[in-house]
Structure 1
Amino acid sequence: MAKSTADDEELRRACESAIEGKENIVLSIRVAESRGIWDKSSKVGRHMAKPRVLALSTSSKGQTTEALLRVLKHSTGGVLEPAKLYKLKHLTKIEVMNNDPSGCTFMLGFYNLRSQSVVPPQWTMRNIDDRNRLLLSILNVCKDVIGRLPKVIGIDVVEMALWAKENTPTVTQITTHRSLPDGPIPATVTENDLKVNVEKELVSQVEEEDIEALLGTGSDVMGIGEAEAFSERMKRELLALEAANVHAILESEILIEEVLQGLEAATYCVEDMEEWLGIFNVKLRHMREDIASIETRNNKLEMQSVNNKALIEELDKLLECLRVPTEYAASLTGGSFDEANMLQNIEACEWLTNVLRGLEVPNLDPSYANMRAVKEKKTELEKLKSTFVQRATEFLKNYFSSLVDFMISDKSYFSQRGQLKRPDHADLRYKCRTYARLLQHLKSLDKNCLAPLRKAYCSSLNLLLRREACEFANELRASTKASKSPAVWLEGSTGSNQNVNSSDTSTVSEAYAKMLTIFIPLLVDESSFFAHFMCFEVPALVPPGGVSNGSKSRSYGDDNDDDDLGIVDIDDDGRSSAELEALNASLEELLDGIQEDFYAVVDWAYKMDPLRCISMHGITKKYLSGQKDDAAGFVRLLLDDLESRISMQFNRFVDEACHQIERNDRNVRQTGVLSYIPRFATLATRMEQYIQGQSRDLVDQSYSKFVSIMFVTLEKIAQSDPKNADVVLLENYAAFQNSLYDLANVVPTLAKFYHQASEAYEQACTRYISAIIYYQFERLFAFNQKIEDLLYTIPLEEIPFQLGLSKMDLRKILRSSLYSVDKSITTMYKKLQKQLTSDELLPSLWDKCKKEFLDKYESFVQLVAKIYPNESILSVSEMKGYFT
């Protein structure tokens, strides 16, 4: 018999290497895998068998052990690699295929396979011993590790047990070598490692001896030699035993009757007991009904007692609500609103508000609301409320007016000659805060009473703010020392080197900045105070104790602390558009008219120095960007109007300056650099000094207007004198570039116009130089142009035979044009020198003229050499010598 592959140590080591030694190999054996069925000729019908290796292994994870069945296949290099993995805990059956006559083919059934429609693989062993050895190992592992056995079909378990006993290996210990980092060391493999467990067999030792004795007796004594005959005899004996058992049962009939009689007597006793229990149950039911009736009466009495007590408490509370305390009634109907009595008035308001709220249906039981006493008391409380609201409204109106009248009558509150006075509303707000909580209670009692109060406060305070702004603006202008700058900047009559505005007008913009620094925070704070003081449901416009953006100082100390008002800011979700609209309308009434004093400062600053509009525009933009979108709407509108007015004034200055530039083209003739070119450079330098890192929009727009008008006017002046047009253009464009070179490096807008002037300068130079050259050498280059034109239509060798292009014509042209070429070049230079008014441009223009002429002449010489090869002509190097 051939050696089984289960004893192949090399195969076992290959399996351990394939699974990287993570599991303990119980058994490894070679098999053939197929999915077809065996036909009568014992051939695979559908698929060819594939060689595989089955490895039975165990894996320990903590305290649990898992049994695995691995399928390994040979890779291209002949090395084993894992192909499939089955868990034995999912194994349900082991079926030996009956259609394989050899009995070596079996199938393993797993219940967790994804597709049960696919035929499971069939495994074919080399011989019956290998099959039994593998199946026995699987059963042993299932019994030891899982604790249960799969169903075995097509093979006798007894036969398996007998085979196991006969084939128990005698070698209980073998030595293998396992590779470790320090080299191979011997490792002992015990009988358990061979995975053929004989001690834990499927049939016990006693059962096995009984079976052997029975088989021996049947074979020797009974003379039975075949299993089938033995099975038949056993069946007959079984039938005989069953018949004997039935007979024994029939013989015990007397005993059965005695048992039945005893059961019948017990039944009678049970029936009597059931009757007695029914009687007791009826009596107990009657008792339960009596007890329930007594409990119900007790519960009703207890509930009635509790309800009477609660009713008395509720009536006491209602009577307490309906009673008007004498001290509160006196304060509400005729009490004084002096500061000393305000605490008592506030307490009376709180009591009245709470009582009226308590008598409303959500807070009061609807059944109480229809009571006559409640209705009469509500009518009485409404009269108290209307009386108190009317008295408080009249008092506050007069109070606001008297406060403002007192401040206006005292001149020390306002700016005076030689002294700028910062508006101080600390005392005014302190006195108003005394009645802040009163206003809140008035709003709770009657929202409609706030409208006349807000109007009275706005009317009174508006007079104070306008007076403060007017006095401050007048004194600010009077105390500012600055000489007036002339409005004429770019007029042609002004000398180009004259400094138009040598005086320092920085105090003008400083005065405007001081106006904003003092009044913008004041107006924002006033808006915030008004919104909270008059109980508008909007968030704080200025953070408590904070300063509005863009301000340098506060107009008062910690007077804007809204905590003193007792007002809590609400969230944005609670702010309604109607409240915000009403607030903006009141703020417009509060601050209306104050903008005229700001406009007066802007107009005064424009008259002193129009360019100061640039600084003022930047200052306004800074303050405008510092305001919140929803804060002090009128202040934001005021800053917007100031920005628009400053832009309008500056645009007016730009328009006037542009008009001065346009007046230059009315002269009959102008030569040299126009006066507004250097004047614009001076103006641009001054404007850049006023920007000082602020927004460039206003200045860049003015640059675009200025330069556009300058270039248009220059083109008109040049067209009025066609003879010297290019000279005028190139001189003025060059002057524009020279005067703005430094600024163009740092100002992108001027850099764009600088490049535009550079292109126009190059074009004018090209036209002017061409005119100079053609004036002296017109016949020479006209002859050259005529030849170039004909080359497009006729061959090169036919050119000398054309009319006017013969060799004789060429000699005449050369004689007339190059006879006194040195004098002609001198004439060109003198003409260029005579027409230019700027000596600085002469060297560069002469270099361009020389280069242009030599390029044209070199082209002419090359063309003559091709068409008239035997004609002598002045060389290019000789021509260069004349220019040198």
Structure 2
Amino acid sequence: MAKSSADDAELRRACEAAIEGTKQKIVMSIRVAKSHGIWGKTAKLGRGNMAKPRVLAISTKSKAKRTKAFLRVFKYSNGGVLEAAKLYKLKHLSKVEVVTNDPSGCTFMLGFDNLRSQSVAPPQWTMRNVDDRNRLLFCILNVCKDVLGHLPKVVGIDVVEMALWAKENTQAINQRQVVPKDGPVTAAVNEVDLKVTVEKELVSQAEEEDMEALLGTYVMGVGEAEAFSERLRRELQALEAANVHAILENEPLLQEVLHGLEMAANCVEDMDQWLGIFNVKLRHMREDIESIETRNNKLEMQSVNNRSLVEELDKLLERLAIPSEHAARLTGGSFDESCMVKNIEACEWLANALRSLEVPKLDHIYANMKAVKEKRAELVRLKSTFVKRASEFLRTYFASLVDVMINDKNYFSQRGQLKRPDHADLRYKCRTYARLLQHLKSLDRSCLGPLRKAYCSSLNLLLRREAREFSNELRAGTKVSKIPTIWLDGSVGGNQSMHGADSSAVSEAYGKMLTIFIPLLVDESSFFAHFMCFEVPGLVPPGGVANGGKSIQDVDNNDEHGMANIGGNGSAGKTTADLEALNESLRDLLDGIQEDFCAVLDWAYKIDPLRCISMHGITDRYISGQKADAAGFVRILLDDLENRISALFSRFVDEACHQIEKNDRNVRQIGVLSYIPRFSVLATRMEHYIQGQSRDLVDQAYTKFVTIMFVTLDKISQVDIKYADILLLENYAAFQNSLYELANVVPTLAKFYHQASESYEQACSRFISTIIYFQFDRLFQFARRIEDLLFNIAPEEIPFQIGLSKADLRKVVKSSLSGVDKSITAMYKKIQKNLTSEELLPSLWEKCKKDFIDKYDSFSQLVAKVYPTESIPAVSEMKSLLASM
């Protein structure tokens, strides 16, 4: 018998080398042939149906708690070296099927349940002989049973036959000698080889012995299957007949047992009848007991209910009773300050009585009782009577308080004396009735609307009178000279309105107006919100003190009749509806007072329009300080003032821009235009006036001014094109000189400074080029022609062009550079003649000399490149000549 490839140690080492690094151990390796053909059918000979040599190996990998088993497929590379081709996990092996079409029985298939494509037929593996097939399959089954704990389905081979084969071949395999190539050395097979044999048979030893004994018993009758089956049937019938005979022999015993059972059944029936009789008697007794308990419970419940009813009726009568002293206060009591404590007590009792007659305070069963309905109606009449009386009193009281203050002339500002409004006494008298208003709100919320309108109407007259008198006296007492608004008009004298009188008193007057009245209006808004029971947060922050006296918080804490919230209905219960109603009321309270603020603004604008800048900053500071929700009207007032200041300043900017545009563009103007230096004075003063957040306002004005100035300058320069560059460079230079210091600190002016610098450089370049070409036009035109031709032809061909010969070069050089000192002197005199600003002459002359040297240097390089044999005056000579002049 030929040696099996499963015993080939070299093959196993080659397999281990192919999977080196995977930490897997080869249990068995054997050569096979892989094919996809079908046995017993003719098929075209093709590459896909040809058998391919492969090596199948069983490998294991041990971990901490378990061992994994794999089936590996190796193939031969072009160099004959084994390399891993495929890897299958044995835990997914579901079926081992021997192909029945192969008559030798050496071909089988392995089915895995985790293959993606089950529609493709698995490969067929063909062994060299049946022994190799059985050896590999037994190794796979043993590994599955020992490592994985389950066996795959085996199809096409008898398990008993395999077990017998394993028993016969195990001994031979264990005792097989391994003969190496270098000589016959006897050695035992290693432990890995032994694992290939059936160490744990599919059938145990005891089961195998029973099967052999059974087969030995019937060895004489197993000649044919039908005879064997008939023999077993006859023996089964004989056994059944023997069992029936044994049962019949024991019949007397059965009769005794049945008689005993019948006697026991009769006793049970007698006991059942007695139990039924006792059950009926017990049921009758239970019903009698339940009847007695029910009557007792009803009597006890009736007694308890009667006591509870009496208690509830007593409580209800107590609720329905109206104390005579409270009824007298509610229907006809006085509202004097001395009586307010009693009035408040009556209000609290009335509110509690009304709440006590409503569900859920009162049980809904009592709510429909006639007595409760009548008492509720009586309380509602009391409430209506009291609310009407209190509302009429308060409306009259508010009007009388304001009338007394308006009729007193000493209360307002007078000639020569500014008086700060003081509402401390007014608020003190109003706070006497603060809790009354809160109770009126809880009794009838609708009554607050007319009361709020009455309060707003009365106090509005007082506030407008105070603002009007204060504004008039403020303007009359501020002495300042009016500053003309013609700032940038070129028709006025050079020094007019440039250094006018100080107008700081104007903005100080406006700031005093805001200082006095804005906190007053905020305090009035806050006091009104609290006093009239609006559910919004207060305006004055904790610890804040109003100008008119104590803070709202201090007064509330110290006044026993203060505005403490009732029932928790305070600022925490803020609602959008209350906020809208408060803003509407504040509009009625403060409407019209903005006219006096606007009068101060218009007066300040007429004196000095630039004071709009400082007033804008003052207004911004007050706007940033108004954060409370109840200061809605004050914020609107400040926003309107800021918009009016912006509109007035925009009017000034527009008028100034119009003055710039009025410059006569039909007559040639020379020198620096008048609005250039005037703008620097204007910008300096505007920077002096900046306060707070008015930076944007001034920057916008700068942008508009400078844009109009530059546009107007360009338009004026176009009147006489010949002198346009001179006018531009002189004015741009003057703009830079006048704004140098401001441009270092003001980013907006720095941007325009750089713009003027670029425009100045461009105008200088154009003017200097005109001067140079006027004296040396023929020389540099000759150079320009050479430069144009160099783009198309070689330098050595240019001397052969018409007008560009060497003789032409000598003529041009002689005519242009003979007496060059006189030409340069003429350039200087021309620059000096055209300029009106003497301070610009040195810098322009230096630029002219540098530009001339650059142009002559380029001409010299062209001559050296195109006319290498010709000589012209050197650049150094020209530099020396210019330096000496």
- Partner of 2:742, secondary structure, is helix
CA 1:66 to 1:642, structure 2 compared with 1: closer, same or farther past 3 Å? same
2:525 equivalent to 1:530? no
CA 1:641 to 1:147, structure 2 compared with 1: closer, same or farther past 3 Å? same
Paired position in structure 2 for 1:644: 643
2:220 equivalent to 1:209? no
- Partner of 1:735, secondary structure, is helix
- Partner of 1:701, secondary structure, is helix
- Partner of 1:241, secondary structure, is helix
Residues 436, 565 of structure 1: 8 Å contact kept: no
Residues 6, 31 of structure 2: 8 Å contact kept: no
1:413-812 equivalent positions in 2, closer than 5 A: 432=430, 435-466=433-464, 469=467, 485=483, 487-492=485-490, 500-501=498-499, 505-506=503-504, 508-517=506-515, 519-537=517-535, 539-540=536-537, 542=539, 545=542, 556=551, 558-559=553-554, 564-565=564-565, 575-576=575-576, 578-628=577-627, 632-662=631-661, 664-665=663-664, 671-691=670-690, 694-711=693-710, 713-714=712-713, 718=717, 726-758=725-757, 760-762=759-761, 764-765=763-764, 768-769=767-768
2:366 equivalent to 1:372? no
Per-residue Cα deviation, 1:186-228 (whole angstroms, up to 9, x for no partner): xx99799948674x54433333334445556777xx5x9xxx7
Aligned counterparts of 2:411 and 2:8: Cα–Cα separation in 1:
117
1:336-355 equivalent positions in 2, closer than 5 A: 336-337=334-335, 345-346=343-344, 348-355=346-353
Aligned counterparts of 2:117 and 2:160: Cα–Cα separation in 1:
34
Aligned counterparts of 1:408 and 1:79: Cα–Cα separation in 2:
118
2:51 equivalent to 1:51? no
Residue identity in the other structure for 1:383: R
So what's the TM-score if we normalise by structure 1?
0.75
Residue identity in the other structure for 2:688: Q
Aligned counterparts of 1:526 and 1:189: Cα–Cα separation in 2:
109
Deviates more, 1:680-689 or 1:201-210: 201-210
Residues 832, 841 of structure 2: 8 Å contact kept: yes
Per-residue Cα deviation, 1:106-144 (whole angstroms, up to 9, x for no partner): 455566666655545655556555554555555556656
Deviates more, 1:454-463 or 1:509-518: 509-518
Residues 172, 190 of structure 1: 8 Å contact kept: no
CA 1:48 to 1:858, structure 2 compared with 1: closer, same or farther past 3 Å? same
CA displacement at 1:442 relative to structure 2: 2.3
CA displacement at 1:385 relative to structure 2: 1.3
Paired position in structure 2 for 1:176: none
CA displacement at 1:472 relative to structure 2: 5.8
CA displacement at 1:637 relative to structure 2: 1.4
2:235 equivalent to 1:241? yes
Residues 93, 113 of structure 2: 8 Å contact kept: yes
| CA root-mean-square deviation | 5.9
Deviates more, 1:704-713 or 1:314-323: 314-323
Aligned counterparts of 2:782 and 2:68: Cα–Cα separation in 1:
109
Residues 56, 68 of structure 1: 8 Å contact kept: yes
CA 1:203 to 1:383, structure 2 compared with 1: closer, same or farther past 3 Å? same
- The unaligned stretches of length 5 or more in structure 1 are 174-187
Aligned counterparts of 1:13 and 1:554: Cα–Cα separation in 2:
106
Residues 75, 83 of structure 2: 8 Å contact kept: yes
1:89-108 equivalent positions in 2, closer than 5 A: 94-107=96-109
- Partner of 2:528, secondary structure, is helix
CA displacement at 1:414 relative to structure 2: 7.2
Per-residue Cα deviation, 1:24-82 (whole angstroms, up to 9, x for no partner): x69444465868465138999958567354436476666xx466445465697967669
CA displacement at 1:608 relative to structure 2: 5.0
- Partner of 1:457, secondary structure, is helix
Per-residue Cα deviation, 1:694-733 (whole angstroms, up to 9, x for no partner): 3433223322332344345545655666775554343223
Deviates more, 1:604-613 or 1:817-826: 817-826
Aligned counterparts of 1:271 and 1:771: Cα–Cα separation in 2:
152
CA 1:203 to 1:731, structure 2 compared with 1: closer, same or farther past 3 Å? closer
Residue identity in the other structure for 1:642: L
CA 1:244 to 1:864, structure 2 compared with 1: closer, same or farther past 3 Å? closer
Paired position in structure 2 for 1:178: none
1:868-879 equivalent positions in 2, closer than 5 A: none
Aligned counterparts of 1:703 and 1:464: Cα–Cα separation in 2:
43
Paired position in structure 1 for 2:223: 229
CA displacement at 1:529 relative to structure 2: 4.0
CA displacement at 1:388 relative to structure 2: 1.7
Aligned counterparts of 2:871 and 2:131: Cα–Cα separation in 1:
120
Deviates more, 1:466-475 or 1:703-712: 466-475
- Partner of 2:701, secondary structure, is helix
Aligned counterparts of 2:766 and 2:171: Cα–Cα separation in 1:
118
CA displacement at 1:84 relative to structure 2: 4.2
CA displacement at 1:625 relative to structure 2: 4.5
Aligned counterparts of 1:490 and 1:79: Cα–Cα separation in 2:
101
CA 1:773 to 1:380, structure 2 compared with 1: closer, same or farther past 3 Å? same
- Partner of 1:829, secondary structure, is helix
CA 1:868 to 1:114, structure 2 compared with 1: closer, same or farther past 3 Å? closer
Aligned counterparts of 1:839 and 1:745: Cα–Cα separation in 2:
26
- Partner of 1:55, secondary structure, is strand
- Partner of 1:535, secondary structure, is coil
Paired position in structure 2 for 1:40: 40
- Partner of 1:51, secondary structure, is strand
2:387 equivalent to 1:384? no
Aligned counterparts of 1:535 and 1:19: Cα–Cα separation in 2:
90
CA displacement at 1:631 relative to structure 2: 5.1
Paired position in structure 1 for 2:6: 5
Aligned counterparts of 1:660 and 1:544: Cα–Cα separation in 2:
50
CA displacement at 1:677 relative to structure 2: 1.4
Residue identity in the other structure for 2:705: F
Deviates more, 1:862-871 or 1:239-248: 862-871
Residues 544, 551 of structure 2: 8 Å contact kept: no
Aligned counterparts of 2:363 and 2:317: Cα–Cα separation in 1:
14
CA 1:415 to 1:534, structure 2 compared with 1: closer, same or farther past 3 Å? same
Aligned counterparts of 2:195 and 2:605: Cα–Cα separation in 1:
111
Aligned counterparts of 1:131 and 1:340: Cα–Cα separation in 2:
122
Aligned counterparts of 2:132 and 2:789: Cα–Cα separation in 1:
108
Identity %: 60
- The unaligned stretches of length 5 or more in structure 2 are 176-188, 558-562, 792-797
- Partner of 2:223, secondary structure, is helix
Deviates more, 1:819-828 or 1:252-261: 252-261
- Partner of 2:58, secondary structure, is strand
